[in-house]
Structure formats: C-alpha cells, structure tokens
C-alpha cells in the first residue's frame, strides 16, 4: 500500500506552490484520477485538493463578448448554463454526450481537459508495456486490440486517443486555456494544449510542472445557429467515442462562409480538420462537396489492424454532422 498525503489548498498561490513538488497531483472532481489510483496506474505521493479555492468557479461574460468558464465548474453545470446553451450549443452538446449524469455532476471542466486515455493497456497494469504509463517500456497496443486507437498523428511509441468530448468542441471553438504556475499566468491556445505522442507519450499536455488550470475562455460566439456535436460509440450512453465530430458553420443563406471541424476518437489530441474547413468555405452543402471535403480529413491516416473502419466512419460522421449543422439533413 502506498502512503499518500493530502493537502487542501486555500488559494491558487498555495496550490501552485504545492503542485510544483515532485509526485504531487491536483484533485478536483477526481472522476478519472481516483480510477487511475485504484488501478495502480497513477501513484501520486501527494494530492492537492483544489475544490475549496475561490476564483476557480463560475461562468462569466468577457468584455469581447466571449465567455469564461472556471476550471471547477462541474460538467453538468457548464452544459446546462443558459449562456452556454444559447451561445455555444456545440459545447453543451459535447458535454452532455460525455460519461453519465452522475459523473458529469462530479467532473470539472479543468479535470475534463486532463482526462487520460482509455487505452486498455494503459489501464491494465498486467501489461508491463505501456510507454504512457511506464516510459521506455514499449507499447502493448501495437500488436494488440486496436479497435479504439488512433488513425491520425500517432507514433511508434503510442497510438492512444484522447477520450474527452468537451475538448473536441473546445478545439472547434478555438477556446484558450488559462493557467497559473510558478512563473505566473499564461494563456494556451487550445490547439497547443494537448500533445501528439511523439517520443514522449507520457506527456498528454503542454502544462509545465506546477501549473494549475484556472479557466477556459471562449471567443465571441459565431456558430450558435449552425453547429452539431455528433458522437459515434458502441452504446447509446456512457461510452467513449469511436469517432466524434464537432462541426460549426457560419452560413450565408445556403453557402458556407466559414467552417470549423474537429474530430475526436481518432488521435492523441482533438484533431482539427483544417483542409476540410477550407474545402467547405464558399461552397453549398451538396453531397459531392461534403464527401470530397470529408475525405481530406483522413488524408494520411494510418489505421491499425482493428480500426480501419474509423477511416470510413470519420468521413461519414463529418458529412452527417456538417449536414445537421447546416440544416440540410
């Protein structure tokens, strides 16, 4: 049995100071961290409880017309907040597509950003080979069951996917993550927050030691009238995405003025489909345009033995999500 010390942080400063110590992990809702600890995947020496810190909660309007969501806002509260539902329905849909009602009531926005992969071999310590859990040990998934694994952006060190639905919507919305650390505050564009595995799959994010997520900022809403989060999964609820699509459009009549498309379930991070977005801009949503644009999203895909279906599924899901966002399906 491992000894674990517990500290309840009173403010951001003391949390950051404690969080910079080796073996220290912040705990908010704990919905993923406690599972990892029970399975022996995470073995922190010290937990710093951030749930009693003032200033990490609340949903507040920003001067530019955007919205700030505090790191400790529960997923269910964020999803059901009037301003989120009205101005960012894509985000509300994505949050409600995740986990179960009970988990959404506990899980926080900051914790959702920090969710770890659901790769079977990462969670099962009976498999010693996992570069994410034990750097340098290998990757049991490479020759294993790869149904849920990545088709884009993977490396020969790790083919895991990011499990967060919320993060896919935030990627499409060009959110930014606000953090405070030993060197002060900084803002991380969402595309730079999560990492591809490369040769350091143990690192999921670009957070520096001791940095604490304080909020997520959303830019002014542009897509409230035309957005859709579509999640394809093995069960109707309480299952992670095989493929998901966050589609957000600005429309001029029947013509797409601009498009934002992000994919979940296909890569180590939420995957922006920039070529698809460019191919949709200035076009009407006819079948030929949609299919050729969707095909661009999976160019360069490298499926494994069990997940080649994701290449086709991702394209079909993009077509469906964009049609629904654009009101043509």
Residue 41 touches ligand SF4, criterion: CB under 6 A? no
| Choices 29-37, 84-92, 132-140, 174-182; region in contact with ligand SF4 by CB under 6 A | 132-140
Q: For ligand SF4, give the closer residue by CB, 119 or 171.
A: 119
Query: Interface with ligand SF4 includes 158 (CB under 6 A)?
Result: yes
Please report, for residues 87, 113, 142, 295, the alpha-carbon distance to residue 155 in angstroms, rounded to integers and kept in the order given.
37, 22, 10, 22
Q: Which residue of 141, 215, 222, 290 would you call a contact of ligand SF4, by CB under 6 A?
A: 141
Q: Is 123 in the site for ligand SF4 (CB under 6 A)?
A: no
Which residues in 87-116 contact ligand SF4 (CB under 6 A)? none
Check binding of 267 to ligand SF4 (CB under 6 A): no
Q: Which is nearer to ligand SF4, 66 or 163 (CB)?
A: 163
- The continuous run of DSSP H or E covering 102 comes out as helix 101-106
Q: From CA 58, how far away is CA 72, in angstroms rounded?
A: 8
Is residue 59 a contact point for ligand SF4 (CB under 6 A)? no
How many C-beta atoms surround the C-beta of residue 174 within 10 A?
Answer: 17
Residue with tokens 């009976």: 126
Q: Does 173 bind ligand SF4 (CB under 6 A)?
A: no
Contact status: 242 vs ligand SF4 (CB under 6 A): no
Nearest CB to ligand SF4, comparing residues 86 and 199: 199
Q: Which is nearer to ligand SF4, 97 or 158 (CB)?
A: 158
Q: Does 117 bind ligand SF4 (CB under 6 A)?
A: yes
Quick one: DSSP state of residue 212? E
From 56, 109, 114, 130, residue interacting with ligand SF4 (rule: CB under 6 A): 130
Instruction: Report whether 259 contacts 281 (CB < 8 A).
Output: yes
Minimum distance from residue 121 beta carbon to ligand SF4 (Å): 3
Alpha carbon distance 269, 273 (integer Å)? 12
Which of 92, 131 has the CB closer to ligand SF4? 131
Task: State the Cα–Cα distance between residues 322 and 317, nearest whole angstrom.
Answer: 8
Place of tokens 């399975």: 39
Residues forming beta bridges with residue 87, ordered by sequence position: none
Cα–Cα distance, 324 to 138 (Å, whole number): 42
Check residue 84 for interaction with ligand SF4 (CB under 6 A). no
User: Alpha-carbon distance 7 to 24, whole Å?
Assistant: 10
Residue 180: strand pairing partners:
185, 212
Instruction: Give contact residues for ligand SF4 (rule: CB under 6 A).
Output: 117, 119, 121-122, 130-132, 139-141, 158-160, 201
């Amino acid at each position: 049995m491992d000894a674990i010390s517990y500290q309840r942080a009173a403010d951001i400063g003391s949390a950051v100071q404690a969080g910079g110590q080796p073996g220290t992990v912040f705990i908010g809702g704990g919905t993923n961290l406690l599972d990892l600890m029970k399975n022996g995947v995470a073995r922190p020496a010290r937990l710093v409880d951030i749930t009693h810190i003032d200033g990490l909660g609340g949903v507040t309007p920003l001067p530019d017309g955007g919205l700030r969501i505090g790191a400790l806002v529960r997923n269910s509260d964020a999803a059901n907040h009037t301003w989120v539902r009205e101005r960012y329905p894509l985000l509300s849909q994505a949050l409600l597509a995740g986990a179960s009602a009970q988990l959404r009531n506990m899980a926080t926005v900051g914790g959702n950003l920090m969710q770890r992969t659901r790769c079977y071999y990462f969670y099962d310590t009976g498999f010693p080979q996992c570069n994410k859990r034990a750097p340098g040990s290998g990757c049991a998934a490479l020759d294993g069951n790869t149904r849920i694994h990545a088709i884009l952006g993977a490396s020969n060190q790790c083919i895991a996917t990011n499990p967060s639905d919320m993060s896919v919507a935030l990627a499409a919305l060009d959110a930014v993550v606000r953090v405070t650390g030993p060197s002060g505050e900084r803002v991380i564009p969402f595309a730079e927050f999560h990492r591809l595995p490369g040769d350091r799959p143990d690192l999921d994010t670009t957070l520096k030691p001791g940095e604490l997520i304080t909020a997520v900022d959303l830019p002014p809403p542009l897509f409230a009238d035309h957005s859709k989060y579509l999640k394809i999964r093995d069960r109707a609820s309480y299952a992670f995405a095989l493929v998901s699509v966050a589609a957000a459009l600005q429309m001029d009549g029947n013509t797409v003025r601009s498009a934002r498309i992000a994919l979940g379930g296909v890569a180590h991070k939420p995957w922006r489909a920039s070529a698809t977005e460019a191919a949709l801009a200035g076009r009407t949503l006819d079948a030929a345009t949609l299919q050729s644009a969707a095909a661009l999203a999976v160019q360069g895909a490298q499926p494994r033995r069990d997940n080649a279906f994701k290449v086709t599924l991702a394209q079909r899901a993009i077509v469906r999500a964009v049609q629904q966002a654009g009101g043509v399906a």
